[in-house]
Chain A
Amino acid sequence: MSTPTVSNSIALLYCEHHGWLQGWLRRKLNCSQHAADLAQDTFVRLLAKPEPQRLREPRAYLTTVARGLVINHWRRQALEQAWLDELAARPALVEPSPEERRLILETLEEIARLLDGLPPRVREIFLRSQLEGQTYPIIAEQLGISVNVVQKAMLRAMAHCYKAQYGMPA
């Protein structure tokens, strides 16, 4: 829970910088609707932080948080586009309802967050193994690489996912 002083300081931050932040986001996104949403989200994030420090450079701090949200936003758009392309390429898939659409995108986003930062080849190997249950010899054969390379990619991918999820001791 935030103490009254904390919400007060955020209220102050909001009054002084909200308009500026929204402008910054509008320039990044080229869309005032999304900019307004993300500016709002940025302050919601601040409220959720356990112990906000006394901010020496509030705008730098705000843009750091907002930049993360912008990346999420772009990723969601990229995922949506990739998924629509896939839908168009496979007429057998059902046309989803808005609710299903939301679920599908949320699920894809969760996977994307987990795999964020892995090279495409490692991602491909990892998904073949973990989603489709392909054995390493099959993956190796289909990608034209050695089983050893597959195994190394899997080690890297699992370590990456573990770190994304639980952090790694120094």
Chain B
Amino acid sequence: MTAGPASPTIPPDIVDAAIGWYVRQASGQMGSDEQLGLSRWLAEHPDHLLVWQRLQGIGQQLNEQRSVLPPASTRSIFRRLPDLERRKAVRLLSWLLLGSGSLYLGRDHLKDAAFPADVRTAIGERREVRLADGTLLLLNTDSAVDIHFDQNRRRIRLRRGEIQIVTARDAADRPFWVETRDARLVPIGTRFSVHQQAETSLLAVSEGAVEVFGNGQPNALRVAAGEQLNFDGRNSHAEPLDESRQAWTDGMISAEGRRLDDLLAELGRYRKGYLGCTPEAGELRITGTWPLRGDDPTEAVLTSLERRLPVRIQRLTRYWVKVEAR
């Protein structure tokens, strides 16, 4: 998409106003009255919405880099960079994802200011959404959530898949929780992720703590930073946090002395069809980190496995792949 004649020119005062809103919203300090003001402003005129979506698109464009490099690395690269030569009117030739993608985000954004919203990802897709209160919600592949924010509470329902949440302090002090199939999770100033698997759920807490109210359980369990909890409706089992399982939040897949069958199970979530292995191959162990980026990132991982382990990849079709011991 280019900034050519096809993109309508918006009056500068509207652009300025939208930038003001955007910058307020990114502050992490926006109050509920301001949120309401933003929703009203967006509803006032189609141009407001259009310029808002463009700004969201710019943010989204930046976020694309998350899948190739950790954000902290990108920032440090730009710090190493000498001041770039200034040029007049840089024309950008192509901007990926500024079309429908940003529109979608813009709509989500609008909705979660006042109404329930659905956000979902396709297989192999990851998406980041900043909620109206400043909370960051990251959806892994094949995931879906409902967002219910109103004047009294902030509630997120995990319908499918895996999410990471970095909570923000709410100016209106509304309670925040995440509902899953197996429990209600109440974060206490935190960064955590939860993965709803076929039988159980896995809660991983990187910062702060999370209180877990299991369905039908009288007492809450507290999971602190550096711990993870495997649980279903009845039972739970705590263990030290496995950081490598959180690599997806940086757009990576990672393993440390991990069993191959276990790694393939995770990898299979990022592609369509069947991905399995023979029992002998499944017992092999591997250490490594691979980026989840591009059209078919899982193929690159499989190629790498074939190079590094005594295995052969058997492909019946694109959607049926089995890893065998050599």
Instruction: Name A's B-contacting residues (CB within 8 A).
Output: 68, 71, 74-75, 78-79, 81-83, 85-86, 89-90, 93-94, 96-97, 99-100, 103-104, 107-108, 110-117, 119-120, 123-124, 127-138, 147, 151, 154-155, 158-159, 161-162, 164-169
The answer to whether A116 and B87 touch across the interface, beta carbons within 8 angstroms, is yes
Complex CA gap A131/B64 in Å reads: 9
Bound-state Cα–Cα, A151 to B24, Å: 8
Select the residue from B19, B63, B81, B252 with max chain A CB neighbours within 10 A: B81
Q: How many residues of B contact A (CB 8 A)?
A: 63
Q: How long is the Cα–Cα vector from A81 to B7 in the complex, in angstroms?
A: 36
A91 to chain B, nearest CB (A): 12
**In this complex, what residue of A is CB-closest to B73?**
A86
A165/B66 in contact, CB under 8 A: no
A114 to B87, CA, bound (A): 11
User: Smallest CB-CB separation from A95: which chain B residue?
Assistant: B289
Q: Sample 14 A-B pairs with CB under 8 A, ordered by A number.
A: A78-B84, A83-B77, A97-B300, A99-B300, A104-B69, A110-B95, A112-B84, A117-B86, A128-B75, A131-B63, A133-B130, A136-B28, A159-B15, A165-B95
Contact, CB under 8 Å: A103 / B29: no
* Inter-chain contact B84/A117, CB cutoff 8 Å: yes
Partner of A169, one of B9, B26, B95: B9
Asked if B316 is at the interface of the complex by the 8 Å CB criterion, the answer is no
Residue of A nearest to B303 (CB): A97
Contact residues of B with A, CB < 8 Å? 3, 7, 9-12, 15-16, 19-20, 22-23, 26-29, 54-55, 58-59, 61-66, 68-87, 89-90, 92, 95, 130, 134, 136, 166, 168, 252, 288-291, 293-294, 300
B55 surroundings in chain A (CB, below 8 A): 158, 162
B77 and A82: CB pair below 8 A?
yes
Tell me the smallest distance from the CB of B294 to a CB of chain A, in Å.
7
> Is B72's CB under 8 angstroms from A132's CB?
yes
- Give 3 closest A-B pairs by Cβ, nearest first: A135-B28, A131-B71, A82-B80
Given contacts A86-B80, A158-B58, A103 and B294 within 8 Å (CB-CB) = yes
Cross-chain contact of A82 among B22, B72, B78 (Cβ < 8 A): B78
Interface centre among A158, A164, A166 (most CB of B within 10 A): A166
Least CB distance from B241 to A in Å reads: 17
Chain B residues whose CB sits within 8 angstroms of the CB of A138 once the complex forms: 28
Determine if A71 and B77 form an interchain contact, defined as CB atoms under 8 angstroms apart.
Answer: no
Q: How far is the CB of B160 from chain A (nearest CB, A)?
A: 24
Please measure, in the bound complex, the distance between the C-alpha atom of A167 and the C-alpha atom of B92, giving whole angstroms: 10
| Contact with B75, one of A104, A124, A154 (Cβ below 8 angstroms) | A124
Q: A111-B74, A167-B3 are in contact. Are A120 and B79 (CB under 8 A)?
A: yes
CA distance A103 to B28 in the complex (A): 31
Decide: A86 and B95 in contact? CB cutoff 8 A.
no
**Given A113-B90, A116-B87, A169-B12, do A155 and B23 touch, yes or no (CB 8 Å)?**
yes
Complex CA–CA separation, A75 to B235 (angstroms):
56
A158-B55, A165-B54 are known contacts. Are A100 and B291 too (CB-CB below 8 A)? Answer: yes
| A151 with B80: CB separation less than 8 A | no
Given A90-B73, A128-B75: A103 in contact with B81 (beta carbons within 8 A): no
A104 contact set on B, CB distance < 8 A: 68-69
- Contact check, B69 vs A165: say whether CB atoms are below 8 A apart: no
Interface pair B23/A115, CB less than 8 Å apart: no
Q: Which residues of B contact A155 (CB under 8 A)?
A: 19-20, 23
Query: Does the CB pair A130–B59 fall under 8 Å?
Result: yes
